[in-house]
């Protein structure tokens, strides 16, 4: 089974799922979350599959939601930026479906390994962090830049992987960090040179695939329940709700209006340039004018 957004292949007890929108850096559109979940569930049903690898086609893993499209559209209600007044229940229903789709990687009874080259940014990091293990290229990048304006990571796996202080560091800055730094922080399992990435992931998958499926299932469920008992579902409920708030706050509305006016790349540069966003928003001006 393959779809327009996720390619599915099985070979020797390993299912490989490939995000397949390379022309858009595998950006998340309306279809990708549900296609990903269907692919994971197909691997779940296949008794010949012992381990799942998730990767991205083309230049990178996933650049996040297709914000060039979503932020610049004149009518974005379907895509999470409603005309005011905002209905938070509609927003939550939409984004929680996506969160549940991404979390199929966490809920799968079979181990999931994420292979990251290029970037796993914003919503792309949401997807990656739902996997059991992550191996990155040294020069790859991971982070959640919309934490600066226009988003909150709905899966909120940062705190469960990093702990309080390092999770706050990542979300207070919106920084993209390299594979090497992600390994040093404990965010991922391992970082290797790009030319070794495929081999390193296959080495791990080949080691896992020799374990009986029932053993893998019992071990994964036991580990996962510890985090679920710590309030994972409740954390994601708050994060998903606040993600909608972030897109409809004064700063969030400014971000979208500026994107429509000057383009997504320019407004991101303004957002990340260190200017006083609140002052720029209040005066409806480019942030370059406010140091």
- Residue 253 contacts by C-beta under 8 Å, 6 or more apart in sequence? 84
CB 223 within 8 A of CB 232: no
Q: How many domains, in total, are found in the chain?
A: 2
pLDDT at 291: 41
Residues 67 and 87 in one domain: yes
Per-residue confidence (pLDDT) for residue 283, from 0 to 100: 60
Q: What is the spatial distance between Cα 123 and Cα 40, in angstroms, rounded to a whole number? A: 18
Sign of CA dihedral 33, 37, 42, 46: positive
Residue 43's domain spans which residues?
6-237
- Same-domain pairing of 258 and 184: no
End residue of a domain, out of 237, 264, 279: 237
State how far Cα 183 lies from the chain centre. Answer: 17
Q: Is residue 1 part of a domain?
A: no
Same domain, 225 and 266: no
- For the chain, the residue count is 291
Residues of the chain with pLDDT under 50: 75-79, 289-291
What DSSP letter does each residue of 91-153 carry, written as one string? HHHHHHHHHHHHTHHHH-SS-EEEEE-SEEETHHHHHHHTSSEEEEETT-EEE-GGGTTT---
Q: Name the domain boundary from 237, 259, 279.
A: 237
Whether 123 and 56 have beta carbons less than 8 Å apart is answered as no
Whether 221 and 254 share a structural domain? no
Q: Does residue 225 sit within a domain?
A: yes
Please state, in angstroms and rounded to a whole number, the distance separating the CA atoms of residues 158 and 9. Answer: 29
Position 78 scores a pLDDT of 36
- Asked, for residue 210, whether it belongs to a domain, the answer is yes
> Same domain for 258 and 190?
no
Same domain, 177 and 263: no
Give the Cβ contact number of residue 115 at 10 Å: 26
Are 283 and 218 in a shared domain? Answer: no
Please indicate, yes or no, if residue 216 is contained in any of the structural domains.
yes
133: which strand partners? 113
Evaluate whether residue 107 is within a structural domain: yes
Q: Is residue 244 part of a domain?
A: no
Which residue do the tokens 């022309």 mark? Answer: 23
Q: What is the 3-state secondary structure (H, E, C) of 17-35?
A: EEECCHHHCCCECCCHHHH
141 and 196 both lie in a single domain: yes
What is the separation of C-alpha 114 from the centre of its chain, rounded to a whole number of angstroms? 11
Considering the entire predicted model, what is its pTM?
0.92
């Amino acid at each position: 089974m393959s779809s327009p957004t996720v390619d599915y292949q099985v070979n020797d007890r390993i299912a490989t799922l490939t995000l397949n929108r390379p022309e858009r850096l595998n950006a998340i559109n309306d279809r990708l979350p549900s296609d990903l979940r269907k692919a994971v569930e197909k691997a779940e049903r296949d008794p010949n599959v012992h381990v799942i690898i998730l990767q991205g086609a083309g230049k990178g893993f996933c650049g996040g939601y297709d914000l060039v499209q979503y932020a610049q559209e004149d009518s974005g209600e379907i895509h999470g930026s409603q005309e005011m007044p905002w209905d938070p229940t509609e927003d939550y229903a939409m984004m929680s479906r996506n969160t549940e789709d991404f979390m199929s990687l966490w809920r799968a009874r079979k181990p999931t390994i994420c292979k990251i080259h290029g970037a796993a940014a914003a919503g792309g990091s949401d997807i990656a962090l739902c996997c059991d293990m992550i191996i990155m290229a040294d020069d790859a990048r991971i982070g959640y830049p919309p934490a600066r304006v226009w988003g909150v990571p709905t899966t909120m796996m940062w705190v469960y992987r990093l702990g309080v202080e390092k999770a706050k560091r990542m979300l207070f800055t919106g920084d993209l960090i390299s594979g090497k730094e992600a390994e040093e922080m404990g965010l991922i399992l391992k970082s290797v040179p790009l030319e070794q990435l495929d081999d390193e992931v296959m080495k791990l998958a080949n080691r896992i695939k020799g374990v009986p499926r029932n053993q893998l299932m019992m071990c994964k469920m036991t580990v996962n329940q510890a985090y679920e008992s710590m309030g994972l579902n409740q954390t994601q409920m708050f994060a998903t709700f606040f993600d909608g708030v972030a897109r409809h706050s004064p700063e969030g509305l400014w971000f979208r209006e500026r994107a429509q006016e000057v383009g997504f790349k320019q407004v991101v540069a303004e957002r990340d340039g260190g200017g006083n966003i609140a002052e720029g928003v209040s005066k409806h001006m480019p942030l370059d004018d406010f140091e």
